[in-house]
Structure 1
Amino acid sequence: MSKQYTVAILGATGAVGTQMLQCLVEQDFPVGELRLLASARSVGKTVEFAGREVAIQEARPEAFDDCDIVLGAAGDDIAKQLLPEAVKRGAVVVDNSHAFRLDADVPLVVPEINADDVKWHHGLIANPNCATIIGLVPTWPLHQLAGVTRMVVSTYQAASGAGAPGMAELEEQLAALGRGEQIPEPHAFAAQLASNLIPQIGGEKFAGFTSEEMKLQNEGRKIMHLPELRVNCTCVRVPVLRSHSESITLEFERDITVEEAREALAAAPGVKLVDDLTAENVHDRWPMPLDTSDQDLIYVGRVRQDISNPRPEHGITFWCCGDQIRKGAATNAVQIAKLLVQ
């Protein structure tokens, strides 16, 4: 990749935008000019990138002139307002918001699963929801073995899912508890998160299921090209700073053994198998958020047969953890961008 590209990050000062910067460096992305775009209040601040200082610019349509690739890390409203302008000006956009994910003419991509979908983009590629990515990366190799037809999922989502404000609020609450002080009024979450959990993420979307819960079904169908995939999902916010966890039970068309599942997971790109209940080192027994934070693999463990299934040989249950800010957002977006330039 000898060519250099002009790359912009929309929402560069947020948790995901900041992580995108680091991922560009880590993945040796061929950045020539870098444009960091944010709100007017951040204009003039500088950020270090690859040994140089880059000034933050105001996010407006003209800022996308002559850009090759735009990484979107802003909210839905800003994405809808500005990213089509970037496409009009000739850029290819990889967007992390929810704004375009289910548009029929916009690819929704997890490189380990459907990298070829990048080929039919029309200037815009969507990055899936964080919990969708974390759950589907290990589901995909098992689907290739036995054909998944149904998913029953519970997510245990960290404060990082609400961005920098969510992480700051949890840290503030934990500090107050440690000092024996009253917990400040929550703003990032509906209720106190420290020493608690919140069994609702997003507003009600369908039959009592929230918008976050429906994403796994609707996005999973599109990414895996399985329009009939059935998903039952419950999303819970937990007092973990970073890295989401998921308990997943899969039902398959064909027989699959635990041994076959473990072998497939151990060989799958983007996956690390951590599954030994008898290991002396606790970190080798099962995945935990502490172990999976600030890295890009999805750790998978607790692999076992679904003994509640009338045909246990058609069911597998497992536990997985992955960093929401990295593979669940920024890393996946940069991996998509690399597909565009390779």
Structure 2
Amino acid sequence: MGFKIAIAGATGNVGREMLNILEERGFPADEVVALASRRSVGTEVSYGDKTLKVKDLATYDFSDTDICLMSAGGTISKEWSPKIGAQGCVVIDNSSAFRYDIDVPLIVPEVNPDAVEGFTKKNIIANPNCSTAQLVVALKPLHDKATIKRVVVSTYQSVSGAGKEGMDELFTQTRAVFVADPVEAKKFTKRIAFNVIPHIDEFMEDGQTKEEWKVTAETKKMLDPKIKVTCTAVRVPVFIGHSEAVNIEFENPITADEARELLREAPGCLVIDKREDAGYVTPLDAAGEDATYISRIREDSTIDNGLNMWVVSDNLRKGAALNTVQIAELLVARGLIQPKKQAA
């Protein structure tokens, strides 16, 4: 007997990717239900060779549903996730609504799988920010080996991190530049075509943006609260794939060669690191792939026990949909959840 799974926000970029990944990975689902807002009811989405008609999240009964993969945004999640959890359905939430709640585990299965058992407090599990997910996958094996003191990360984040509207804006603006039409910025604060924008999410009182704060807070929650993290988050004119330039200071010595070997053996990581033309990964290479790619691993001679590296991943997959499905797989593999129909 398999599980009954609901996808909330099934018409969005991440929701559609969740459906694809559930089917690709052969998740043990007997039934998959696509949910969205009332205005999307009747819209068709694909699940393998099946076509699902979207139902209304607001009127759906979750009492016989085992897992809800929530990708409908923070406002909707804040309203609905506790209600869904109260009906006995485990919510795996892709938004930031519950990431910093002490009673909600924030999970990357390659990094802190044991923490998933805390989901029973609210029946909610949080998925991290897309840029944090790939970062901690790369940091975890290095921290276990040499203990990270400080991380300085600069992100190069694709427009798909801002949803379909972000992707549409890059396409529209690029076309407008080539045909000499007026370029209009709607989704982003400045023109994104042929430009970079050092501003993602809202500004905070201390001058950092909310996106930068998320990377810091989430890395500490999942990896180690003692690690010092500072981040500069930048939007770049790339459709899919987030890249990160990462500088790490360790308590203990570690060489680039040692780091390379550790990362080659680490779950979720794929090292492509040749010191030659094209011997590294770009976001275009990573699009559609599951791995967190690591390149340009080298020692930093300006500090004791320092390394630099380049980290790239598909933000719609490992940064969102894939990690969410992996959390569901973790629940099943550890026997933490049983199909309600079987239990009945």
Range into which the TM-score falls when normalised by the shorter chain: over 0.9
Alignment of 1:240 onto 2:241: no
Alignment of 1:341 onto 2:332: yes
- Given that 1:294 and 1:323 are in contact with CA atoms closer than 8 Å, whether structure 2 keeps it comes out as yes
Q: Separation in 1 of the partners of 2:97 and 2:221?
A: 15
Alignment of 1:120 onto 2:118: yes
Shift of 1:180: 2.7
Q: Separation in 1 of the partners of 2:180 and 2:264?
A: 45
SS at match of 1:109: coil
Q: Separation in 2 of the partners of 1:299 and 1:50?
A: 27
Shift of 1:62: 3.6
User: What is the aligned partner in structure 2 of residue 332 from structure 1?
Assistant: 323
The share of aligned pairs that are identical, in percent, is: 44
User: What is the aligned partner in structure 2 of residue 105 from structure 1?
Assistant: 103
Name the aligned partner's letter for residue 70 of structure 2.
G
SS at match of 1:177: helix
- Given that 1:61 and 1:82 are in contact with CA atoms closer than 8 Å, whether structure 2 keeps it comes out as no
Shift of 1:61: 5.5
Alpha-carbon RMSD across the aligned residues, in angstroms, is: 1.1
Q: Separation in 1 of the partners of 2:281 and 2:140?
A: 18
Question: Paired residues, what number?
Answer: 331
- Given that 2:16 and 2:46 are in contact with CA atoms closer than 8 Å, whether structure 1 keeps it comes out as no
User: What is the aligned partner in structure 1 of residue 340 from structure 2?
Assistant: none
SS at match of 2:204: strand
Q: What does 1:178-189 align with in structure 2 at a 5 Å threshold?
A: 178-183=178-183, 185-189=184-188
Q: Separation in 2 of the partners of 1:188 and 1:300?
A: 30
Q: Separation in 2 of the partners of 1:248 and 1:238?
A: 17
User: What is the aligned partner in structure 1 of residue 129 from structure 2?
Assistant: 129
Cα gap change, 1:73/1:125 in structure 2, threshold over 3 Å: closer, same or farther?
Answer: same
User: What is the aligned partner in structure 2 of residue 286 from structure 1?
Assistant: 280
Q: Separation in 1 of the partners of 2:59 and 2:86?
A: 10
Q: Separation in 1 of the partners of 2:154 and 2:43?
A: 41
Q: What does 1:15-164 align with in structure 2 at a 5 Å threshold?
A: 15-60=13-58, 62-122=60-120, 123-164=123-164
- Given that 2:45 and 2:52 are in contact with CA atoms closer than 8 Å, whether structure 1 keeps it comes out as yes
Q: Separation in 1 of the partners of 2:165 and 2:72?
A: 14
Cα gap change, 1:216/1:63 in structure 2, threshold over 3 Å: closer, same or farther?
Answer: same
Deviations 1:116-161 (Å, cap 9, x if unpaired)? 1111212110000000011111111111110011100000000011
Q: Separation in 2 of the partners of 1:231 and 1:39?
A: 37
Q: What does 1:248-263 align with in structure 2 at a 5 Å threshold?
A: 248-263=246-261
Q: Separation in 1 of the partners of 2:51 and 2:208?
A: 45
- Which of 318, 323, 327 is residue 309 of structure 2 equivalent to? 318
User: What is the aligned partner in structure 2 of residue 207 from structure 1?
Assistant: 206
Shift of 1:191: 1.1
TM-score under structure 2 normalisation? 0.94
Q: Separation in 2 of the partners of 1:53 and 1:130?
A: 28
Shift of 1:266: 1.1
Q: Separation in 2 of the partners of 1:26 and 1:206?
A: 43
Q: Separation in 1 of the partners of 2:230 and 2:263?
A: 22
- Given that 1:141 and 1:264 are in contact with CA atoms closer than 8 Å, whether structure 2 keeps it comes out as yes
5+ long unaligned stretches in structure 2: 334-344
Name the aligned partner's letter for residue 322 of structure 2.
T
SS at match of 2:17: helix
Name the aligned partner's letter for residue 256 of structure 1.
I
SS at match of 1:303: strand
- Given that 1:295 and 1:326 are in contact with CA atoms closer than 8 Å, whether structure 2 keeps it comes out as yes
SS at match of 2:111: helix
Q: Separation in 1 of the partners of 2:285 and 2:37?
A: 34
